[in-house]
Amino acid sequence: MHTKQRGSGWSIRLALWIYSHFGYMTFFVLLYPITFLYYLKASNTRCALKLYYRKIGIKYTQWRYFEHLRKFAVVMTDRFITKCDASPYKLIVDRDNVVKELKEGGVILFSHFGGWSVLPELLKVDDLRVNVIMQEVIKEDIKVIEKEISAGNQTNVHILDLAHVSKLEASIKIAEALIQKEAVSMMGDRANNLKHAISVDFFGSPAEFNKTPFEIAQKAQVPIRAFFITYVKAHTYKLEYVKIKISENIEDMVKEYAKAYEKVICAAPDQWFNLYDFWKEEAH
């Protein structure tokens, strides 16, 4: 699944420079004019979000569109700022309980919603390892910045980029992690390959989700949980998670995830960050 990438290396470096020299609130205010520039030129995103708001039954307005882009900009830059200094940030969650669940191992489902990318910095715990299986689609110059910031930082997260390993190697590493009761995380709302996609009802129309994490949990008979991280306000995020019942029918598991996803989207509709034609309306 591909979508035009937003953001650039220079804009991230500018944001970090503003943050380091003038503080977070100055950066936070300046995101309004920066967002306005994207608002003026992001025509593909505008079309995709018009479809999205129609699907979820909310009236599309230009202000809603602007705020949607601004929330995306905040969350995107928080991904990097938390790697520099996560101490001012707050994560609303029953921390002891979620750590206990993570230490049981199993599959964690993330989604392109809210601030999923800030979680590793806001939930650092000793003796906890989370293996993130993904195919990074951010631009190379942005990847370089993230590596520069992360160099030397302690983290619970080990990223396995599918763009750089074989399918066999990835399968072996996933199996090893699950045997050792480590958490394995994957994106549930995008499949890297059409053969891994499964179509279920989503806000009244068929949409494709990634069936791979559900198949892994089913075959390994390990718990599978959907994590949703909502941006609340500056420096504050909320983590909610849902345990999905293991079933012989993969479609039933995906449907349960889709229903949970609908619920969090309805609570925070401007934090949906699949900024493309998710329902493939144009193809139809």
DSSP string of 68-102?
Answer: HHHHHHHHHHHHHHHHH--TT-EEES-HHHHHHHH
Q: Given a cut of 80, is residue 282 above it in pLDDT?
A: no
Mean predicted confidence (pLDDT) in 137-163: 61
**107 has a pLDDT exceeding 70:** yes
Predicted confidence at residue 123, as pLDDT, reads 84
CA 249, 254, 259, 263 dihedral sign is: positive
Q: What is the mean pLDDT of residues 1-23?
A: 70
What are residue 208's DSSP bridge partners? Answer: 199
Q: Which pLDDT belongs to residue 43? A: 86
Phi, psi (deg, nearest 5) at residue 30: -70, -15
Residues 149, 230: Cα–Cα separation, whole Å: 24
Look at 232 and 127; give whichever has higher pLDDT. 232
| pLDDT confidence tier of residue 129, bands split at 50, 70 and 90 | confident
**C-alpha–C-alpha distance, residues 84 and 16, integer Å:** 9
- Per-residue pLDDT for 237 more than 90? yes
pLDDT on residue 254? 98
**Six-digit token string for 157:** 């997260």
Averaged pLDDT for residues 247-270: 97
Q: Return the minimum-mean-pLDDT range out of 6-20, 191-205, 249-263.
A: 6-20
- Name the band, by pLDDT with cuts 50, 70 and 90, for residue 172: confident
Mean pLDDT in residue range 99-104: 87
Q: What band does 1 get if pLDDT is binned at 50, 70 and 90?
A: very low
Per-residue pLDDT tens over the stretch 154-163: 566 676 666 6
Residues 66 and 205: their CA atoms lie apart, in Å, by 26
From edge to edge, which strands make up the β-sheet containing 106-110? Answer: 90-92, 236-244, 224-233, 106-110, 183-187, 130-134, 157-161
Give the whole-angstrom CA distance, residue 267 versus residue 284.
29
- pLDDT exceeds 90 at position 135: no
Q: Which residues pair with 131 in a beta bridge?
A: 158, 184
Q: For residues 249 and 247, what is the distance between their CA atoms, to the nearest angstrom?
A: 5
Residue bearing the bigger pLDDT, 81 or 164 = 81
Report the distance separating Cα 208 and Cα 187, nearest Å.
12
pLDDT, mean of residues 88-97: 94
Q: How confident is the model at residue 215 (pLDDT cuts 50, 70, 90)?
A: very high
Q: Please give the single-letter amino acid code of residue 204.
A: G
Compute, in degrees rounded to 10, the torsion defined by CA atoms 257, 269, 274, 45: 160
Q: For residues 71 and 234, is the Cβ–Cβ distance under 8 A?
A: no
DSSP annotation string for 186-201? EESS--SSGGGEEEEE
Predicted confidence band of residue 281 (pLDDT cuts 50, 70, 90): confident
What's the mean pLDDT when you consider all of the chain?
86
Tell me what the mean pLDDT of segment 197-213 comes to: 96
End-to-end CA distance of the chain: 16
pLDDT digit string, tens, across residues 37-56: 889 988 889 999 999 999 99
Which H helix or E strand runs over 112?
A: none
The pLDDT of residue 140 is 58
> What DSSP character marks residue 181?
T
> Taking residues 130-151, what's their average pLDDT?
62
Identify the residue with better confidence: 177 or 136: 177
